[in-house]
Structure 1
Amino acid sequence: MNNLLNIITTIICVWLSWSSADGAQKRENEEVSFHRIQTSSLFPSSSAPCVLSPTASNTKSSLRVAHRYGPCSSLRTSPDHDDILRLDQARVKSIHSNLSKKPTARDRISQSQSTDLQAREGFTLGSGNYIVTVGIGTPKHDLSLVFDTGSDLTWTQCEPCIGSCYTQKDPIFNPSSSSSYSNISCSSPVCDSFASQTRRKYCSASNCAYLIGYGDNSSTSGYLSKEKITLTNTDVFDNINFGCGQSNSGLFNGSAGLLGLGRGKSSFPSQTVMKYNNIFSYCLPSSPKYTGHLTFGTSGGLSSSLKYTSVSTVHESASLYGLDIVGISVDDKELEIPLTVFTTAGSIIDSGTVTTRLPPKAYAALRTAFKEKMLNYTTTLGRSILDTCYDFTGLETVEIPKVSFSFKGGTVVELDAIRVLYAFKMSQVCLAFAGNDKDDDLAIFGNIQQKTMQVVYDGPGDRVGFAPNGCM
């Protein structure tokens, strides 16, 4: 009898041990497929001091990157989420609109007074962008510029503002006070080259001019010029082509202009190819209280964890960095999205678009899978372009399912919670993705999804690389 009891006891103990181990394994797997976060981390204090990125200060070819809203920004403007998303949608619509247009006879190069021509439509800057401080002129004049991988021409507002200038935080650049400033002649090959990119040639008397209109009715026009550009004490460049804006208007939110990082010939990386070999990288901080960095060349060191995907040409645009999305996973499970959904639309990576845009079928699949993993949380009304939102009131922690993007070449980018969510307030935290209106609208990998990663643009290799833990 005792032997029988001993056998039964042993069997029960073994069964309990197996059950315990199985449960522990399930919990372990569950934690691997979810990101558990403190809800308070979604809302950094507006009074928090700026925390500087060590990378930018230790690398001679690096600039500090700051979100325009927060203690690290020299602009120190107040965020308005509805404005951010409204302008973000305007930027996306202008990108889609531009890429859907075919060149017409009126787009051919013609020489005329710039005031007689309509603006060439560009991309809306939006308001959820990141800024860097760049020195222009001799003596150096420090200016806060939005940096944008979707634009080529670097420009700033210039005195005497013959037309008009919007309000900016820094003093407006005065070219007459700079000994290194010069206008570019309308007969210059540089002017012809710029005209070939924009499909029009603008001249004001004998000077080469430019005119760019953005999708939100903002615009800048002025003289195409040459000037000294200072990044750091050791990285100074003479005769950089830039736009000296004499008539500027719109929603530039206090910045002095734009640093163009696109693929075109007039972009800053293209003009500094002899120094940096057309390679640059950046890391966008996790919240406005931190700084990130924009680094030119490879002297700052590239992460050993980098995984690259090839850059593809997007329609007829020579400026945009096209990427090939091949799949999306939620909770480590690849969604059933036909590859043709992505190839029909095409995709780009863009520093100026806030939330990632997806083809309608891809977004529907992502939203459905995300909702299934969030059934334990209270849903709430959507807001602006974001339609999948939750009320986290009273919760100290939440578990957010992993979302991963797969790109051509086997590169997988895993997104943690801060790159999956857009937090308005504790009672309204939303999935930070949106669907496009049409199946053939371009997909855009936005800047929320790029946060804290080292993102490398390798021009000679025609590739973009991603590595985790690039900054805080």
Structure 2
Amino acid sequence: MKLRSGSTLFFIFLLSAIHGLAFAHADHDEEDGGNGDEMRLEMIHRYSPHAKDHGVHVEMPPTQQELIQELYRHDVFRLQMMTQKRQQNGHDQGLNSSSSSSNSTRRMDMQIKHSMVMPMNAGWDYGFGQYLVKLKVGTPSQKLLVIVGTGNDLTWVKCRSHCGKSCGIRKGRIERNRLFNRDRSSTFKPVPCSSKMCESDLANMFSLNKCPSPLSSCRYEYSYAEGSSASGTFGTDIIRASLSNGKRTRMKDVLIGCTETVLGKGGVKGSDGMLGFGFGRYSFATKAALKFGGKLSYCLLDHMSHKNVTSYLTFGANKKAVLQGKMSYTQLIFSDRSIGSIYGVHLQGISVGGQMLNIPLHIWNPKLDGGTLLDSGSSLTFLTKPAYKPVMTALTKPLTKLRRLPSGGDGFDFCFDPRGYRDRLVPKLVFHFAGGAKFAPPVKNYVIDIEPGKKCIALVSATEGPCVIGNILQQNHLWEFNLVRKTLGFAPSTCT
């Protein structure tokens, strides 16, 4: 399909959400400590020609309208998933339960001088995450493309063992021939079924209690809300990734699931597995962030940027970020396990055009499973009805003279003909966080092109569940998560 500038480029980026391709260019590895440079994950959209160069073959929907409808369906399903999970009982066995989150990590926060930066490629999200990461796993390393699992902790790869050179497609099970052969990796270590790690620590990762024998490997069946599942055995291995100084770093003893069976039609299509990006004790994100001072950050490019411009997910201090203002900071809330490891913030109110809106305070209650969620796995922004109605009333009032258009099934309530429209007609939307931090996204982040001759306000009403700030609204800002100090920092940025 021939690409146009403007609205089509927007949709090429639209399904992006946090998460890429880790390219290792160096000849020598750094030691497994925090003394290397930052680690970066390059962010490239799934439908970009560059994605196909790395084996991603997912057909782009033929029209812009179908793209936005697909995106809307995905986000609605994801919100339903989070709403359902928040009703369940859960206990946080994540970062706060990890022994590494004590004084030792605080000392690390002071000592780490460098970061790890890796490239990322946007991927299919069905409750999993929307970016792909190119990783090198094992010794000698094997290259794999995995989806970054927003809200999930387990890193798993399509895998085989005891199959020698015959590792490949097995009808009805693994559907691709790019697999991790664990027998070829001298550093892969199975997790014993009889170990405390299997019986207790990995319970939240769906470890199975049945042990054929004490020496058997710990098994799991990792289920996802839309009905798909991945089953296999737990192990640990080395993951290698690039540093921004041109060298490589080794992430030792990373928990990895050797997935032998994938069931369902869900979101692993076009990938070799899943990279855990939650804040749980055994997630890749937690391990990588704590190795480099407890910080991780990302910056989503303007959807109008040239296709060759790249964004990055960074582990460690992001020294290369080009900011267009001062960093603002607010409290980072780690929700309990009932909705997964999705990062929350304490939103205290919303203003439009400089006027605070009359929204009930209980809407922002941070004790309800993380308060408002900053979710890079959702593209759209959802507000519960008590917040949605006053926000939309204030935003649309200056636009009533423009010709209204039907939504066309894309989920938006206010769409219009852009003739006569200017961004300055829309009053400024500001999110007020705890501690006085204010997030004021540019108008183009919430008044978007749906198709030629049609714009919509890209906010969606949620009947229940948490409020969600999606990745489109987050564009053009650097977002820094400090897992040690439990703070979220953000600032306008060029994302280069």
TM-score by length of 1: 0.76
User: 1:374 offset after TM fit, Å?
Assistant: 1.8
CA distance in 2, matches of 1:437, 1:166: 38
Other-structure match for 1:390: 416
Other-structure match for 1:172: 179
Aligned with residue 86 of structure 2, among 81, 99, 107: 99
Amino acid of the residue matched to residue 329 of structure 1?
S
What SS is found at the alignment partner of 1:91? Answer: helix
User: 1:469 offset after TM fit, Å?
Assistant: 0.8
The answer (yes or no) to whether the contact 2:129–2:147 under 8 Å persists in 1 is no
CA distance in 2, matches of 1:47, 1:276: 32
Aligned with residue 326 of structure 2, among 305, 317, 320: 305
Instruction: State the Cα deviation string for residues 413-433 of structure 1 (Å, max 9, x = none).
Output: 111133213433123322222
User: 1:260 offset after TM fit, Å?
Assistant: 1.5
Other-structure match for 1:471: 495
Relative to structure 1, the CA distance from residue 334 to residue 299 in structure 2 (aligned partners, 3 Å threshold; closer, same or farther) is: closer
Matches within 5 A, 1:229-248: 229-232=239-242, 233-248=247-262
User: Which consecutive unaligned segments of at least 5 residues does structure 1 have?
Assistant: 1-38, 105-123
Other-structure match for 1:402: 428
What SS is found at the alignment partner of 2:218? Answer: strand
Other-structure match for 2:315: 296
User: 1:315 offset after TM fit, Å?
Assistant: 4.6
CA distance in 1, matches of 2:57, 2:443: 26
Amino acid of the residue matched to residue 260 of structure 2?
Q
CA distance in 1, matches of 2:421, 2:459: 24
The answer (yes or no) to whether the contact 1:42–1:418 under 8 Å persists in 2 is no
CA distance in 2, matches of 1:422, 1:158: 41
Other-structure match for 2:126: 125
Other-structure match for 1:181: 188
The answer (yes or no) to whether the contact 2:288–2:315 under 8 Å persists in 1 is no
Amino acid of the residue matched to residue 275 of structure 1?
K
CA distance in 2, matches of 1:428, 1:128: 28
Amino acid of the residue matched to residue 181 of structure 1?
F
User: Which consecutive unaligned segments of at least 5 residues does structure 2 have?
Assistant: 14-19, 26-36, 62-66, 92-124, 161-166
Relative to structure 1, the CA distance from residue 45 to residue 265 in structure 2 (aligned partners, 3 Å threshold; closer, same or farther) is: closer
User: 1:313 offset after TM fit, Å?
Assistant: 4.0
Other-structure match for 1:270: 286
User: 1:230 offset after TM fit, Å?
Assistant: 1.1
Amino acid of the residue matched to residue 83 of structure 1?
E
TM-score by length of 2: 0.73
Q: What is the percentage of aligned positions where both structures have the same residue?
A: 27
Matches within 5 A, 1:170-249: 171-198=178-205, 201-203=208-210, 205=212, 206-232=216-242, 233-249=247-263
Amino acid of the residue matched to residue 458 of structure 1?
N
Amino acid of the residue matched to residue 305 of structure 1?
K
CA distance in 2, matches of 1:380, 1:213: 40
Amino acid of the residue matched to residue 202 of structure 2?
A
CA distance in 1, matches of 2:335, 2:462: 17
Aligned with residue 43 of structure 1, among 1, 5, 8: 8
Relative to structure 1, the CA distance from residue 71 to residue 285 in structure 2 (aligned partners, 3 Å threshold; closer, same or farther) is: farther
- Tell me, yes or no, if structure 1 residue 371 matches structure 2 residue 378: no
CA distance in 2, matches of 1:166, 1:368: 50
Relative to structure 1, the CA distance from residue 259 to residue 128 in structure 2 (aligned partners, 3 Å threshold; closer, same or farther) is: closer
Amino acid of the residue matched to residue 457 of structure 2?
L
User: 1:185 offset after TM fit, Å?
Assistant: 0.9
CA distance in 2, matches of 1:72, 1:387: 35
What SS is found at the alignment partner of 2:225? Answer: coil
Aligned with residue 417 of structure 1, among 411, 433, 443: 443
- Tell me, yes or no, if structure 1 residue 443 matches structure 2 residue 467: yes
Instruction: State the Cα deviation string for residues 106-154 of structure 1 (Å, max 9, x = none).
Output: xxxxxxxxxxxxxxxxxx7348822232221222222222224411111
Other-structure match for 1:256: 272
Aligned with residue 485 of structure 2, among 456, 461, 466: 461
The answer (yes or no) to whether the contact 1:64–1:133 under 8 Å persists in 2 is no
Provide the alpha-carbon RMSD of the alignment: 3.2
User: 1:164 offset after TM fit, Å?
Assistant: 4.7
Aligned with residue 331 of structure 1, among 353, 363, 386: 353
The answer (yes or no) to whether the contact 1:87–1:127 under 8 Å persists in 2 is no
What SS is found at the alignment partner of 2:44? Answer: strand
Relative to structure 1, the CA distance from residue 149 to residue 310 in structure 2 (aligned partners, 3 Å threshold; closer, same or farther) is: farther
Instruction: State the Cα deviation string for residues 320-361 of structure 1 (Å, max 9, x = none).
Output: 322111111223332221222222852221121111111111
Amino acid of the residue matched to residue 95 of structure 1?
M
CA distance in 1, matches of 2:479, 2:210: 38
Other-structure match for 1:152: 153
User: 1:184 offset after TM fit, Å?
Assistant: 1.1
The answer (yes or no) to whether the contact 1:68–1:128 under 8 Å persists in 2 is no
User: 1:281 offset after TM fit, Å?
Assistant: 0.7
Other-structure match for 1:64: 42
**Which structure's CA Rg is the greater one?**
1
- Tell me, yes or no, if structure 1 residue 285 matches structure 2 residue 310: no
CA distance in 1, matches of 2:440, 2:452: 24
What SS is found at the alignment partner of 1:146? Answer: strand
What SS is found at the alignment partner of 1:171? Answer: coil
CA distance in 1, matches of 2:202, 2:416: 49
The answer (yes or no) to whether the contact 2:192–2:198 under 8 Å persists in 1 is yes
Amino acid of the residue matched to residue 152 of structure 1?
D
Most deviating of 81-90 and 396-405? 396-405
CA distance in 1, matches of 2:352, 2:235: 49
Number of residue pairs the alignment of both structures matches: 405
